[in-house]
Structure 1
Amino acid sequence: MKILLLAPHPFYQARGTPIAIKSVLEFLGERGHSVDVLTYAEGADVEIPNCTIHRIVRVPGLSNIRAGFSFKKVISDMLMVGACARMMRRTRYDLVHAVEESAFIASAIRRLWGVPYVYDMDSSLAEQMVETYPSLGFCFPAFRRMEGMAVRRSIGVLTVCAALEDIVRGHDPAKPVGRVEDTTLLTDGGSDGGNEVTLPETDGRPVAMYVGNLEPYQGIDLLLEGFRHTLTDVPDAKLVIVGGRKNDIAHYRGRAEHLGIGGSVVFTGPRPIQVLTGLLRQADVLVSPRLKGLNTPMKIYSYLDSGSAVLATRLRTHTQVLDDQMAYLVDPEPAALGRGLAELLRDPALQARLAASAKAYVRREHTPQAARRKLEAFYATMEARVRKDGP
């Protein structure tokens, strides 16, 4: 098939959604499909067999586009509409693979050109809007109806977790749904890269580590406030925070100083995926303090595969994958997180037990091979649907 994939984000970047979309593109290319990708101007060019990357026009000031809703994203999506229309006039596509909010563009394409689309739902747009802007709570029913329209007009929906699958079923119980969770990014035997990322500032002390962006929904404020409680019981502990933009790091470094824990918190900045295996193994405990969102953080699968213990907030974003046998789950408030982290840092036997259970689980359920099998089953259904119905 000739497929148009709409990726409304900077592509490629080494973070959640772009990593997942790169995997989908590699899958589609290996399956013999010819794929045109339309994405933002920002991002690194990558070579993927049978895939051609097209970008919207570069506009001064339209860069450093963050995850989540923003004015820059709105402008970029508007530019995508025009670029998409031009591509549709030039090329006859059999299918559109629409990621996130581009499903609304794909819905219009289906009305105008009759081309069916798959809705790649990495999050609930309705939930995301209201969580980001609580004052828009009164608009939630309207946002939910728009989301439902995008689901119903698609020929199938690809989700990354059980919570999103439930939302799809609520909109259209009969809609074909493929649930393909993210996978571990760690490599076997790890070309470890650990020597490149040794953390001398930890000096052999107990290490709690967070890896990821520093957006508000990730719960970094909760982590810092909780770690202050941890230091009461484990005064020599170190918190290592990996990732984030320079301005975010400066903000949270200031926050740590304000809390009086600046000397116990290390900000490393971003690190390449290639050193992730060695990096995670240097932690005694890996922490995911996320507060918002329904989708499970991609980092969780690599955390589970690392051989280090995992601590996470007891929210559905985590509990749809994690349970008390493989992770230390805590209520999303500072004292609970701090006490839990202290207990885990002081108990090597508990760390080992949780880590072993976690690794066995992720190697059984969330390998790249398992994800590929699920994706193959979903796309076999979509291909049959396209052949049967035609555009």
Structure 2
Amino acid sequence: MKALVLAPQPFFASRGTPFSVYYRTLITAEQGVQVDLLTYGEGQDVDIPGVRIIRIPRIPFLSPVPIGPSGKKFFLDGLMLLWTLALLVTHRYDFVQAHEESVFFSRLLKPLFRFKLLYDMHSSLPQQLTNFNFTRSRRLIGLFERLESEALASADAVITICPD
């Protein structure tokens, strides 16, 4: 079995989501699954047995990548999409584990590449927009609410951190 794990953040960094990505990816590989982990170019190199870490290019003027939503992440997520497409075209994955906002483009690629989609939902992305003071725009928050609902509906399984 082969998995593509999408982690749209600096990896590895000593903060919440990268710890989750590290341990979930480690456990998946320990179960005999071949894992390709696609992440941002920024972050510490770590060795996870059975896991191939693939990084999009590190873009110096976009560093450091902040926690929470940002214009920097929007641009980097576009690069993540391009690298994801390249990996899906050249490799056959049984499932894609999409962390956070990477589920938005993963759900669109699912029918084309016929993989199972595991949504690793660390938090509600519409809530993050206001929690991190990114925006108060009802239109943008509404768009993210719709994207999140569609992602939840199209995922084959969802991992959540808390009931909210």
Provide the aligned length of Structure 1 versus Structure 2: 163
- CA drift of 1:134 comes to 4.3
Q: Which residue of 2 aligns with 1:182?
A: none
Q: Which residue of 2 aligns with 1:133?
A: 134
Q: Which residue of 2 aligns with 1:108?
A: 108
1:175-205 residue CA offsets vs partner (Å, 9 max, x unmatched): xxxxxxxxxxxxxxxxxxxxxxxxxxxxxxx
Q: Supply the distance in 2 between the matched residues of 1:139 and 1:91 (Cα, whole angstroms).
A: 34
SS class of match (1:162): coil
- The one-letter code matched in structure 2 to 1:151 is L
- The one-letter code matched in structure 2 to 1:86 is A
SS class of match (2:147): helix
Specify whether residues 130 and 115 from structure 1 end up closer, same or farther in structure 2 by C-alpha distance, changes over 3 A only: same
Q: Which residue of 1 aligns with 2:23?
A: 23
Q: Which residue of 2 aligns with 1:363?
A: none
Q: Supply the distance in 2 between the matched residues of 1:135 and 1:154 (Cα, whole angstroms).
A: 28
Q: Supply the distance in 2 between the matched residues of 1:145 and 1:153 (Cα, whole angstroms).
A: 12
- The one-letter code matched in structure 2 to 1:88 is L
Q: Is the 8 A contact 2:99 2:121 kept in 1?
A: yes
Specify whether residues 142 and 85 from structure 1 end up closer, same or farther in structure 2 by C-alpha distance, changes over 3 A only: same
Q: Supply the distance in 1 between the matched residues of 2:66 and 2:60 (Cα, whole angstroms).
A: 16
Q: Supply the distance in 1 between the matched residues of 2:60 and 2:135 (Cα, whole angstroms).
A: 30
Q: Supply the distance in 2 between the matched residues of 1:63 and 1:134 (Cα, whole angstroms).
A: 21
Q: Is the 8 A contact 1:130 1:137 kept in 2?
A: no
Correspondences of 1:280-291 after superposition (within 5 Å): none
Q: Supply the distance in 1 between the matched residues of 2:15 and 2:135 (Cα, whole angstroms).
A: 26
SS class of match (1:120): strand
Q: Supply the distance in 2 between the matched residues of 1:38 and 1:108 (Cα, whole angstroms).
A: 18
SS class of match (1:35): strand
1:333-361 residue CA offsets vs partner (Å, 9 max, x unmatched): xxxxxxxxxxxxxxxxxxxxxxxxxxxxx
SS class of match (2:24): helix
Q: Which residue of 2 aligns with 1:11?
A: 11
Q: Is the 8 A contact 1:62 1:72 kept in 2?
A: yes
Q: Which residue of 2 aligns with 1:150?
A: 151
- What is the alpha-carbon root mean square deviation over aligned residues? 1.2
Q: Which residue of 2 aligns with 1:122?
A: 122
Which protein has greater RCO, CA pairs closer than 8 Å, 6+ apart? 2
SS class of match (1:82): helix
Identity within the alignment, %: 39
Q: Which runs of 5+ in 1 are unaligned?
A: 164-391
- CA drift of 1:159 comes to 0.3
Q: Supply the distance in 2 between the matched residues of 1:72 and 1:17 (Cα, whole angstroms).
A: 18
- CA drift of 1:12 comes to 0.3
- CA drift of 1:133 comes to 3.3
Specify whether residues 133 and 64 from structure 1 end up closer, same or farther in structure 2 by C-alpha distance, changes over 3 A only: closer
Correspondences of 1:91-240 after superposition (within 5 Å): 91-131=91-131, 132-163=133-164
Q: Is the 8 A contact 1:130 1:136 kept in 2?
A: no
1:193-221 residue CA offsets vs partner (Å, 9 max, x unmatched): xxxxxxxxxxxxxxxxxxxxxxxxxxxxx
What's the TM-score, normalizing by structure 2?
A: 0.94
Q: Is the 8 A contact 1:129 1:136 kept in 2?
A: no
Q: Supply the distance in 2 between the matched residues of 1:33 and 1:79 (Cα, whole angstroms).
A: 25
1:285-304 residue CA offsets vs partner (Å, 9 max, x unmatched): xxxxxxxxxxxxxxxxxxxx
- The one-letter code matched in structure 1 to 2:137 is L
1:141-166 residue CA offsets vs partner (Å, 9 max, x unmatched): 33211100001001010001121xxx
SS class of match (2:61): coil
Q: Which runs of 5+ in 2 are unaligned?
A: none
- The one-letter code matched in structure 2 to 1:83 is W
What's the TM-score, normalizing by structure 1?
A: 0.41
Q: Is the 8 A contact 1:125 1:143 kept in 2?
A: yes
